[in-house]
């Protein structure tokens, strides 16, 4: 099943806020959040979390990576729940210390506010993105014991970014992969999400494929259950290879001109895609990175 709505997905497991820009919640004696969406959605996420937990508070928030639409509401959550422990990779913590990276997150979250408004989501948080620190530096393959018989395993799955962590809950067969897998866009288009290394992205997909997840949480729009969970990982591999072939052809035609190749890719996959979709500046930034990654790979090979 492909689920594209908020609410309960599995046993004590929920999509909060907006399916397009979600926060995931695992309820239980030790409630856990995964990712923190966009700054503009902070009030929406807060209301959704409180609607399930009531007076209880989440204990942990684990971040998949440091992109603006996955860390946007962290500071707001920390103000609402001061004891909330924020976890992410060492590289994620390093990026959060870089003023230029923080400014980019701030700019992209500001632009994303308009998209939140287009989606008619309310109430809107109009405050700007605020930086934050990590309480837990999550190590690759680290197991975080929540309660007896329930744990979260951090998996180093680079390719989209170098600071990327996926989270595996083995007792429930839930995999929060975010953009370690392709994003299921409007009309079923799969957006490959490698930005920094194509081959590392494929290796990460192959690792995730072997876990046997029955609930697969992507970064945006969709949760996949049962046979669709593993099938989506397989389809992500195919989508990445198709994107590679398309972009290599554009780069060859443009004689290595990355900017022109980006425009060709944009015309092929983004221009006619209906809303909701990634903000144009964020899309162009990511597409330039994908095309540049492929160009560098072509030169190495």
**In this predicted model, what pLDDT tens digit does every residue of 36-65 receive, in sequence order?**
999 999 999 999 999 999 999 999 999 999
The model's confidence at residue 282, banded by pLDDT at 50, 70 and 90, is: confident
Classify residue 169 by burial, with Cβ atoms within 10 Å: 0-12, 13-18, 19+.
buried
Give CA–CA dist 7/203, Å, rounded: 32
Please tell me the least confidently modeled range out of 155-164, 173-182, 282-291: 282-291
The model's confidence at residue 144, banded by pLDDT at 50, 70 and 90, is: very high
Q: Report the DSSP pairing between strands 183-184 and 215-218.
A: unpaired
Cα of 233 vs its chain's centroid, Å: 15
Q: Report the DSSP pairing between strands 190-191 and 165-169.
A: unpaired
Q: What is the pLDDT of residue 258?
A: 97
CATH fold label, 2-230: Metallo-beta-lactamase; Chain A (3.60.15)
Whole-number average pLDDT of the chain? 95
User: What's the pLDDT tens digit per position in 201-233?
Assistant: 999 999 999 999 999 999 999 999 999 999 999
The model's confidence at residue 33, banded by pLDDT at 50, 70 and 90, is: very high
Q: What is the pLDDT of residue 141?
A: 96
User: What's the pLDDT tens digit per position in 237-260?
Assistant: 999 999 999 999 999 999 999 999
Q: In the predicted model, is pLDDT for residue 187 greater than 80?
A: no
Q: What is the pLDDT of residue 119?
A: 78
Q: In the predicted model, is pLDDT for residue 121 greater than 90?
A: no
Query: Mapping DSSP to helix (H, G, I), strand (E, B) and coil, where does residue 290 land?
Result: helix
Tokens of 191: 């957006």
Q: What is the pLDDT of residue 190?
A: 94
Tokens of 247: 């972009």
The model's confidence at residue 281, banded by pLDDT at 50, 70 and 90, is: confident
147 φ, ψ to 5°? -145, 175
The model's confidence at residue 168, banded by pLDDT at 50, 70 and 90, is: very high
Hey, what's the torsion of the CAs at 132, 138, 144, 146, to 10 degrees?
10
Q: What is the pLDDT of residue 117?
A: 81
Q: In the predicted model, is pLDDT for residue 277 greater than 80?
A: no
Percentage of the chain modeled with pLDDT above 70: 100
Q: Report the DSSP pairing between strands 143-147 and 136-138.
A: unpaired
Q: What is the DSSP letter of 21?
A: S
Give CA–CA dist 225/129, Å, rounded: 33
């Amino acid at each position: 099943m492909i689920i594209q709505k908020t609410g309960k997905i599995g046993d004590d497991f929920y999509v909060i806020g907006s399916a397009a820009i979600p926060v995931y919640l695992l309820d239980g004696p030790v409630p856990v959040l995964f990712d923190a969406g966009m700054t503009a959605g902070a009030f929406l996420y807060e209301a959704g979390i409180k609607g399930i937990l009531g007076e209880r508070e989440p204990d942990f928030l684990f971040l998949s990576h440091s992109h603006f639409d996955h860390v946007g509401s962290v500071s707001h959550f920390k103000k609402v729940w001061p004891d909330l422990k924020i976890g992410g990779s060492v590289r994620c913590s390093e990026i959060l210390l870089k003023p230029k990276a923080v400014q980019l997150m701030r700019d992209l979250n500001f632009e994303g506010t308009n998209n939140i408004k287009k989606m008619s989501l309310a109430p809107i948080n109009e405050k700007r993105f605020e930086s934050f620190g990590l309480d837990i530096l999550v190590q690759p393959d680290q197991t975080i014991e929540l309660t007896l018989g329930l744990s979260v395993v951090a998996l180093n799955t680079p390719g989209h970014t170098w600071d990327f962590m996926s989270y595996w809950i083995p007792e429930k067969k839930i995999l929060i992969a975010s953009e370690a897998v392709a994003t299921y866009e409007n009309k079923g288009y799969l957006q490959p999400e490698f930005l920094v290394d194509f081959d590392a992205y494929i290796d990460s997909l192959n690792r995730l494929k072997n876990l046997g997840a029955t609930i697969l949480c992507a970064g945006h729009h969709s949760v996949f259950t049962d046979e669709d969970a593993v099938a989506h990982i397989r389809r992500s591999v195919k989508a990445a290879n198709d994107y590679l072939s398309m972009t290599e052809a554009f780069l060859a035609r443009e004689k290595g001109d990355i900017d022109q190749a980006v425009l060709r890719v944009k015309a092929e996959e983004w221009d006619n895609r209906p809303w909701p979709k990634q903000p144009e500046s964020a899309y162009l930034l990511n597409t330039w990175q994908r095309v540049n990654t492929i160009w560098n790979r072509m030169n190495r090979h």
